[in-house]
Amino acid sequence: MIARPALVKSHRLSGGSRYLESPNVFLYAASALMPSDLMPRLQGSILCLLLSCSAAAVSRSVWDGVYTKEQAARGQAAYRENCLQCHGETLGGGEGGNPLAGAEFLPKWYGKSVGDLFGTIRKTMPQEDPGSLASRQYSDIVAYILSVNEFPAGQKELDRDIAPLSEIRIEKKR
């Protein structure tokens, strides 16, 4: 049997009911309602849940090497085929295409995520047929944009799904 937590404070609410205040009060209450052999599993499950939530909350930065050189090279080829005409050879903008590199591009994206950039490109490009490329091509093009903007390459490719990309922040140089 689990002993009552020493840090439990009892507070009287209007109407005479009471509530308990303690980090251990949930486990104390649960221990009274379930067989004792289930309690260690419950504690382990809660710990795993808390650790996974805290790990998911940690975001990365474009300065952490979030794409590979090989992916950026594939992205360059896809860019030349699908984006060059509007955005120019150096990604500086061109015939109706906004800049994708440099002083005009980066400040608009600081504080946003790579997922935001990926999603915008996927939903709006190529201009004549938005969304027509494969997810891998969009991811590769984003890797190429990051490389041209001098963010470092790393050991792992950018993901093709927007959720993990939303964990990567576009930030000014550290």
DSSP 158: P
What was the pLDDT predicted at 173? 82
pTM over 0.75: no
d(CA 142, CA 66): 11
**Do the beta carbons of residue 116 and residue 166 sit within 8 Å?**
yes
What was the pLDDT predicted at 56? 46
d(CA 55, CA 150): 27
Q: pLDDT of 8-49, one tens digit each?
A: 455 554 555 454 454 454 445 555 555 666 656 656 565 555
d(CA 101, CA 146): 8
What was the pLDDT predicted at 54? 41
What was the pLDDT predicted at 163? 97
CATH 1.10.760.10 for the 61-169 domain, yes or no: yes
Give the count of beta carbons closer than 10 Å to the beta carbon of residue 36.
Answer: 9
**Residue 111 vs residues 4, 104, 149, 162: alpha-carbon distances, Å:** 47, 15, 15, 16
Mean pLDDT of the chain: 82
- Residues carrying CATH 1.10.760.10, the chain: 61-169
Which residue ranges of the chain lie beneath pLDDT 50? 5, 7-8, 13, 17, 19-20, 22-23, 25-27, 50, 53-56
* The pair of three-digit structure tokens given for residue 29, joined into one six-digit string: 């209450």
